[in-house]
Amino acid sequence: MKLLVTGGAGFIGSNFIHYWFEKHPEDEVANFDLLTYAGNLENLKDIENNPKYKFIKGDICDRELVFSLVKDCDVVVHYAAETHVDRSIIDPSAFVRSNVLGTQILLDAVREYDKRLHHVSTDEVFGALKDFDPAFTEQTPYDPRSPYSASKAAADHLVRAYFHTYGIKMTISNCSNNYGRYMFPEKVLPLFIANLMEDKKLPVYGDGMQIRDWIHTLDHARGVDMILQKGKIGETYCLGGNNELTNLQLTKNLLKIMGKDESYIEFVKDRPGHDRRYAIDFTKAKTELGWEPQIKFEDGLHDMVEWYRNNQEWVERCRSGAYKDYYKKQYEDR
């Protein structure tokens, strides 16, 4: 089978590609990524010479290129997206372009060549939960509260509209917060790990009582795999980690693992539109697919900390943008 993975050089996409080659070494994978600020080919350095792997640098809004790539694959797994909420507050237009227009162009190509599409989304499209509200399910109404989540909600609606209007072969997954190796350093966990390695404070938004459900990125990858194998066309599946933590609890867990005390916590002004709680009910995925998270949060967090400790040069190159020199040397002349 030939997979086209959009956004495969990012954190979640690159982990998915690693997972796929481990579980399906006979398949071919084409990684299509523009290599914007968080796309990093160093994440895939260990497989770059695999004859079954191919990288294509390009824009998800490049209609001609997207059509040519979709034509040559069997399945499209769509990770490509602008993802950082804070960045979406500063520049919403970039998120609308990539996440909405880019998805629409990809859908046109999938429709044209009758390919199978899996669209990767987020629990943030559902908005915020109160403390005692039931967790998000596939039936939860959409209520996005940031430009990022609004753009992902629009993409989800487009995917479903193409299913109902044109009959494309699609599935969608909405997952909770991912964590694991290769996570870009501006995100909360790698930022905090890097800060502690440099003996710096940890900036916690507001009162730190925002609740998130954390899923290991390899559990997420396995969920997408099982949706591709067993998921029903036209359906959505919620993938969660069964691991709700306040941001303050998350911070304290990290401090404990890294041998630091709570004096490193620094409360800062909350960001606009900061959702209070996310939680995923993955009953449908468990019932229909036999999927549930397998990696315990404590184990996954320990592994993540050790990986960042052992890859500090990678962190520094990401922070400085120097990692882009790597792909320039390796790919721009190909």
Residue range 245-286, pLDDT digits in tens: 999 999 999 999 999 999 999 999 998 878 889 999 999 999
Q: Which pLDDT value is given to residue 322?
A: 60
Question: Do the domain assignments include residue 310?
Answer: no
CATH number at residue 36: 3.40.50.720
pLDDT digits (tens, 9 = 90+) for 143-168: 999 999 999 999 999 999 999 999 99
What's the pTM?
A: 0.92
| Residue bearing tokens 């997408």 | 224
Which range marks the domain in which residue 36 is found? Answer: 2-183+214-242+278-297+324-331
Would you please indicate which residues are annotated as catalytic (active-site) residues? 123-124, 148
Question: Do the domain assignments include residue 162?
Answer: yes
Number of domains in the chain: 1
Closest to 229 (Cα-Cα) out of 290, 311, 152: 290
Closest to 207 (Cα-Cα) out of 261, 246, 253, 176: 246
Question: Do the domain assignments include residue 161?
Answer: yes
Question: Do the domain assignments include residue 317?
Answer: no
Closest to 174 (Cα-Cα) out of 32, 291, 285: 285
Question: Do the domain assignments include residue 29?
Answer: yes
pLDDT digits (tens, 9 = 90+) for 212-226: 999 999 999 999 999
Question: Do the domain assignments include residue 254?
Answer: no
- How does residue 184 score in pLDDT terms, banded at 50, 70 and 90? confident
| Residue bearing tokens 């399906």 | 24
CA 270 to chain centre: 23
